[in-house]
Amino acid sequence: MVEEDQTKGNVMGGPGITSGGDVTFGNSSGQVGIGQNIDQSLFQSINQTNLRELRESLLEFQKEIGRLGLDPNYQNIINGDISKAVIEAKKEQTEPSKIRQYFEAAIQTTKDAGRAISSISELYEPAKKIAKILGTAISFLL
C-alpha cells in the first residue's frame, strides 16, 4: 500500500514501483535502488554445464581478440579483463556478478577502441553465449 501526503509531496513506498519527490521505505525485503543509472540484476546460480560452457566461451573469446586488430594497449586491457573472468569462473565458489563485470568491461574497452564485437563472428558467437549465461543484454555487444 502506498500512502501519499499531498501537502508535503512525500510518498511512503510499498510493493511494486514507487516514485515521487521524497520517497520513504519501511521494512523492505528484496531489491531497492535509489539514484540515477541503477542496474540491478538477480543471478541464478550457474549450473555446472553452463559454467563449463562459460569457461570455454571466455577462452574462445580471448583467443579471438587479436582479430579486432586493436592497439596493443587496448588488447592488453581486454585480455586482462577476460583473464580475470576466466579465473573467477574457475573458482569453486564462482561469483557470476564478477564475471559479468569483467566481461562487460572488456566489451566496453572494445567499444572505446572504436571496434564492435559483432563485426567478427569468431568473437560474436562466444560473446553471445557468455552474455546469455550471465544475463547480459545481447544489445550491449553491438
Q: What is the DSSP string of 9-45?
A: TEEE--SS---SSEEE--S--S----SSS-----PPP
Say which residue the cell 513506498 belongs to: 13
- E strands, 2-50, are 3-5, 10-12, 22-24
Mean pLDDT value across residues 60-66: 95
Q: Do 35 and 59 sit in the same domain of this protein? A: no
Same domain for 3 and 27? yes
Does 68 share its domain with 124? yes
Instruction: Supply 63's cell numbers.
Output: 583467443
Residue 102 belongs to what H/E stretch? helix 96-112
Condensed to tens digits (0 to 9), the pLDDT of residues 11-60 reads 555 565 555 566 565 555 455 666 666 655 544 568 888 999 999 999 99
Tell whether 3 and 65 lie within a shared domain.
no
Model pLDDT, residue 97: 93
pLDDT in tens, 100-131: 999 999 999 999 999 999 999 999 999 999 99
The pTM score is 0.69
Q: Tell me, yes or no, whether 66 and 94 share the same domain.
A: yes
How many domains does one find in the chain? 2
Per the structure, the complete domain to which residue 9 belongs is given by: 1-40
